[in-house]
Amino acid sequence: MIRDFTGRVCVVTGAGSGIGRALATELAAHDARLALADVDAEGLAETAARAVRLGAREVHTEVLDVADRAAVLAWADATAARFGGVDLVVNNAGVALTAGVEEMSWDDFEWLMGVNFWGVAYGTKAFLPHLRRSPDGHLVNISSVFGLFGVPSQSAYCAAKYAVRGFTESVRQEQRVSGSGVGVTTVHPGGIRTNIVRNSRAAAGHDKGRVVALHDSVSRTSAQRAARIILSGVRRGRSRVFVGADATAIDVGSRLLGSVFEPLVRVVSRRRQASTLVPAGPALSPDGVGSAPALSAEGYSGPVTGG
């Protein structure tokens, strides 16, 4: 169990903004050695500069698409060789998509799964051998409250976050059964104030500006506070970490209410969806529905990304 991050080799994907940047700066303040990745070179460079100013012992960056398996595997090996090992890995990169199943394109669906699920799977498999060599290796995978219950117009996102949850819980059991000593934590953030929605995609008919405004109105937790909660969970060896009072309430409510929880979700979703749909009129241009580059990070972050 990692009690102190001083001198520890800590890997964070989606470090260009949001939770990823906040994790990097929190770890820097604890004198960690950092390996940071993101698809957004500019955002990544800014995070690295902040980390250096805060006292990070060592910072290396990699412009990386986490959906590229070969690139992730190569980065993991290069990172372990450069630092002489790896102690903490946070698979944080993530993107968002607002679209119903019937209206979403296959390209958008595959784009989201590539980052939000496969990026986590690649990062986990690539770094696990290195974490097993650390006396206190720890893996953190970012799921979401949307990995706890289904939400209309978020089917792709929910699919990825449920997959991350199940995948990570299985990895945790495997590590315990094998006696490897690697700690594994699943994180379920609630509403976090980041740029993930601003950098999201949306199907025609959804007003992205309204989706962003709705996200901002319900996101009560700062990225910095989210990072502190996550790292506290690592120090305590927690299996699951809920970020924000909303995340805790959703977890408790969905478990206690069972099937009764779904009608409540539908009522709230109808009201919110009505506020984000485009009124009848000319169709939006591609820019109007929010096309976005293939970023990397949940928090979650900006061009790069969160949950």
Residues acting as catalytic residues: 157
Q: Indicate the residue type of 285.
A: S
The two structure tokens encoding residue 10: 């800590």
Q: How far apart are the first and last CA of the chain?
A: 25
Beta bridge partners of 206: 277
Question: Cβ distance 244 to 221 under 8 Å?
Answer: yes
DSSP 283: P
Cα 87 from Cα 182, distance rounded (Å): 9
Which ranges of the chain does DSSP label H, i.e. alpha helix? 18-29, 41-53, 69-83, 106-113, 119-132, 155-178, 208-218, 223-235, 245-257, 261-276
Question: Cβ distance 16 to 38 under 8 Å?
Answer: yes
SS3 of 179-204: CCCCEEEEEEECCEECCCCCCCEECC
CA 284 to chain centroid, in Å, comes to 29
* Chain position carrying tokens 């890997």: 11
Cα 6 from Cα 258, distance rounded (Å): 43
Cα 228 from Cα 70, distance rounded (Å): 31
Question: Cβ distance 307 to 192 under 8 Å?
Answer: yes
Question: 227, 291, 304, 297: which is closest to 42 by C-alpha?
Answer: 304
Question: 167, 170, 166, 172: which is closest to 185 by C-alpha?
Answer: 172
Q: Is 63 helix (H, G, I), strand (E, B) or coil?
A: strand
Q: Is the previous residue joined to 300 through a cis bond, with omega within 30 degrees of 0?
A: yes
